[in-house]
Amino acid sequence: MDIIPISLPLDLPAPMWFLKFALITFFLVHILFIAFMIGGTFMTVFFRMLRKEDPFWSRMAREMGNTVTVNKSIAVVIGIAPLLAISLVYTNFFYAANNITAPLWLSIIWLVALAFISLYIYKYTWDSTKYSDRFKYFWGVLAFAIFMFVPLIFLSNINLMLYPDQWKNIYGFWQAIWAPNVLPRYLHFLNASVALTGFFTLVYFNFKLKDHHEDAAFYTRAKNLGAKWAMYATLLQLLFGFLNYVTLPVTADSPMVLYLIIVAIIVAGIAVYLLSLNLYAGKNIHPIIIFFVILVVASIMGTLRHVVRENALREPKKIMAMKTDLYRAQLATFMKTYSPTGEVVVTGESVFQGVCMACHAIDHKVVGPPMQYAIDKYKNDRDAMIQFVNSPRKINPDFPIMPKPPISEKEIELVVDYLLNLEVGSNE
């Protein structure tokens, strides 16, 4: 806890409630598109690769590929807002955690860029006969593998941020992922991605169906596939949610967490019920309604995560505030009695030591020639030496040209007088 940084002495640029609201809301939008991106990539790669016998699957793969092109870009660009918000709401904690896992944290940049390029190669070589199937699948699978890995980096960081008492003992990503809550959350997230991609597929192909009645067979089948993914993954989420909840550290837990979970389960139950009516009871509930229901669940989950963050950081924040107050008080007390100590007396010696000695010594070569050389050369011509220092020229080919020193005319005179009056032996 003693390494929690002191807060910055600057006011927040916006009210805290606004920043927290922005964090929860925009993160929710971001993570929805991330889920669509991961699930969509799975479909576009593996449906085509593994189910070649039925043309439905390769068509489905192609159509989902088009959605991934859009969804992945929206996911990234929306992600900036929550990144800014979390950096302001939890500045010290967020940056500290990122720092501990730095190499992996920074690898997100090139990993995701590589995944996106791979996806483009996969997409734009689709119909080309120049490349083998193996070549094409390689890029698809690579993109998917990266998409599976990157969430783990984010999760280990966000988890580490909440538990400053562990910072002392954790020296990197590979240690951070073994904290109790990380892997269960990861599984919970992956399964949520499956469910959300299901909901997305349902809504998306429902829209397409409206515009393309001639293709009803394909779009109906695609839409039902989405509904099934949505329904079964949502059901499975009971298991992963349970795992996630039981591994949640005590400091992060509170009755509110449990209440929100219960509400989320009930609302998710409604979504599952509506899906089952459509799939198995021949009803026709509009997919937008079902999507709205699951959006409520996602919002509850987002709020729940916020409650968890606030719970876990309650004590660390107090410690940070205490440290900050103490430091500020000491600083303020000091500043009351402190006044900058006026003009420092400048002497030729001090100028020489402060400026010239960066490159010159009296009797040996450093970056520039020994001063002995200059003293001998200028001992009878003070003005020439002053003029040289004022506007240096290249004289000796063995040395780089001297930069004009950042000192005043007066200081140049002082230092020249100091040097020319030095009692040193001559080389001659």
Span 13-32, contacts to another protein by CB under 8 A: 13-14
Tokens linked to 329: 């008080």
Identity of the residue, 286 or 364, whose beta carbon is nearer to another protein in the bound complex: 364
| Residues 170 and 100: beta-carbon distance below 8 Å | yes
Q: Residues binding another protein: what is the number (CB under 8 A)?
A: 71
What would the two tokens of residue 124 be?
């734009």
Q: Of 241-249, 277-285, 399-407, 412-420, which segment contacts another protein by CB under 8 A?
A: 399-407
Helix ranges, 338-408 (H):
348-354, 371-378, 382-390
Closest CB to another protein among residues 118, 237: 118
Give the interface segment with another protein, choosing from 12-20, 255-263, 264-272, 305-313 (CB under 8 A): 12-20
220 touches another protein (CB under 8 A): no
State whether residue 202 is helix, strand or coil.
helix
Which one of 15, 214, 334, 391 is in contact with another protein (CB under 8 A)? 334
> What token pair was written down for 190?
């992956």
Rounded distance between C-alpha atoms, residue 397 and residue 20, angstroms: 64
Residue 309 CA to residue 295 CA, distance in Å, equals 21
CB of 28 to another protein, least distance (A): 15
């080389």: which residue's tokens? 427
Asked if 422 touches another protein (CB under 8 A), the answer is no
Dist. CA 221–CA 203, nearest whole Å: 13
Return left, alpha or beta for 201; rule: phi > 0 is left, psi -120 to 50 is alpha, else beta. alpha
| 300 within 8 A of 260, measured Cβ to Cβ | yes
DSSP conformation letters of 203-254:
HHHHHHHHH-GGGHHHHHHHHHHHHHHHHHHHHHHHHHHHHHHHTS-GGG--
| Residue 384 interacts with another protein (CB under 8 A): yes or no | no
Q: Are 174 and 98 within 8 A, CB to CB? A: no
Which of 17, 109, 255, 391 is the binder for another protein (CB under 8 A)?
109
Closest separation between CB of residue 375 and another protein, Å? Answer: 15
419 lies in the binding site for another protein (CB under 8 A):
no
Q: Which is nearer to another protein, 169 or 284 (CB)?
A: 169
CB 392 within 8 A of CB 402: yes
Is residue 280 a contact residue for another protein (CB under 8 A)? Answer: no
427 sits near another protein (criterion: CB under 8 A): no
Interface with another protein in residues 64-83 (CB under 8 A):
69-70, 73-74, 76-81, 83
Q: Measured from the CB of residue 29, what is the shortest distance to another protein in angstroms?
A: 10
Q: How many CA atoms does the CB half-sphere of 411 hold within 13 Å?
A: 16
- The answer to whether 145 contacts another protein (rule: CB under 8 A) is no
When binding is defined by CB under 8 A, the residue of 102, 239, 258, 281 that contacts another protein is 102
Choice from 5, 249, 269, 302 touching another protein (CB under 8 A): 5
SS3 of residue 346 by DSSP: coil
Tell which positions 170-199 bind another protein, by CB under 8 A. Answer: 171
Q: Which residue has the tokens 């080309």?
A: 128
Check binding of 143 to another protein (CB under 8 A): no
Decide if residue 397 touches another protein (CB under 8 A). Answer: no
